[in-house]
Structure 1
Amino acid sequence: MKAIRTLCAIGLLGMASHALAAPPGGFAGSWVNDNIRSSWSDGNFPTGKMSLRIQVTFSQDHMIYHSVNDTAKGKPPMVIDFDAVMDGKPYPLTGSARYDTVRVRRLGDDQIELLELKGGDVIVGAIWQLKDNGKTLMRWGIGKSPEGKSKSYQEFFSRG
């Protein structure tokens, strides 16, 4: 009986060390949107027009995010930055009038949940997942427009 308890304790320690393992480093790097593979549920994805570059780094349990969206030609690009502990708690986000905080949590080695909020209201909820042996980042989520209408989206990014 004692041997079974010892094996169970070792198994639990192994699971705990996996939960505290290094950040999901496969997400680190620069990503550029893939207009051809991406879509929005309302059918209005700006195919061939969307221009979004994401830079992701990790420092211990922090996800450090920087993006530049210059889709709206003739207007200044939208630059969004945050440094969030991946613990599901709110952290400040800068650069967007639509969001003021972000909540990030790791779901697995190849999945991250990212929520963007304004005044505590979830505006965008997304699951990030690595595909194609880490060569592709897929974001699937639901976002609410400034008019209060929601749509789902599936966006793909290639390393760039």
Structure 2
Amino acid sequence: MKKSLFLAVTLLVACETASVRAESVPSSFTGTWVNDNVRSTWSDGHYPTGKMKLKMTVSISGNHLIYHSVNDTLKNKAPMIIDFDAVMDGKPYPLSGSDRYDVVRVRRLEGDHIEILEMKNDDLIVGAIWTLEDGGKTLMRWGVGKSQKGTSKAYQEFFTRK
């Protein structure tokens, strides 16, 4: 009897802890963000300084992340619009707007860090860690992306809240 009471209390505490953790996911990421060309870099040295034009809209509620971005960097092409709606549980969710990747996996890491994995056919194309800096005024994402040619580069991109 004591053993089953102990197990019941342990299970209740574990459920409440998981619930608090899900509810405490940082909603401070919520907002509209535009890239900061001056601070951003790519490891291959080819960051399109002054040309990159990327705007992201992020909404977080509980353990749920909704993402929308418009990349209007290439003036001779239509903007690339990426959308996804994912629970931050590390499971795959559909992503639309890219021919390079079609699935996203999102999970919260310790503190105010979020991992974003963009994949196609179980192949990791982009892996990124998002974090907030400057008291929540700056979103920084650091990651590694694979080009369509199959080569990879690291990047550190900064976004300012609008």
TM norm. shorter chain > 0.5: yes
1:110 offset after TM fit, Å?
A: 1.3
For residues 84-109 of structure 1, the C-alpha deviation after alignment (integer angstroms, 9 at most, x for no partner) is: 01000000000001110000001134
Q: Which letter maps to 2:39?
A: R
Match of 1:33 in 2: 35
Note the C-alpha offset of 1:75. 0.9
In the alignment, which residue of structure 2 is the partner of 1:129?
A: 131
Please report how far the alpha carbon of residue 58 of structure 1 lies from its aligned counterpart in structure 2 after TM superposition.
Answer: 1.9
Q: Larger strand proportion, structure 1 or 2? A: 1
> Following TM superposition, by how much is the alpha carbon of 1:74 offset from its aligned partner in structure 2, in angstroms?
1.9
Q: Secondary structure at the match of 1:81?
A: strand
Q: 1:93 aligns with which of 83, 90, 95?
A: 95
Q: Match of 1:88, SS?
A: strand
| Residue matched to 1:153 | 155
Letter of the structure 1 residue corresponding to residue 117 of structure 2: L
Instruction: For 1:140 and 1:35, locate their aligned partners in 2 and report how far apart those are by CA, in whole Å.
Output: 14
Q: Residue in 1 aligned with 2:76?
A: 74
Which amino acid letter does the alignment assign opposite residue 37 of structure 2?
Answer: N
SS state at 2:65 partner: strand
Superposition TM-score, scaled by structure 2 size:
0.88
Deviation, 1:23, is 2.7
Query: SS in structure 2 opposite 1:133?
Result: helix
After TM superposition, the runs of 4+ consecutive aligned structure 1 residues lying more than 3 A away are: 9-18
Distance of aligned partners of 1:19 and 1:51 in 2 relative to their CA distance in 1, 3 Å threshold: same
Provide the identity percentage. 63
5+ long unaligned stretches in structure 2: 1-5
Aligned residue type for 2:57: Q
| 1:23 is aligned to 2:12 | no
May I ask how many residue pairs the two structures share in their alignment? 155
Residue 83 (structure 1) aligned with residue 85 (structure 2) = yes
Q: Any residues of structure 2 matched to 1:34-73 within 5 Å, and which? A: 34-73=36-75
CA RMSD of aligned residues (A): 2.1
> SS of the counterpart of 2:28?
helix
Instruction: Report the Cα offset of residue 62 of structure 1.
Output: 1.3
Taking structure 1 as the reference length, the TM-score comes to 0.89
Most deviating of 124-133 and 53-62? 53-62
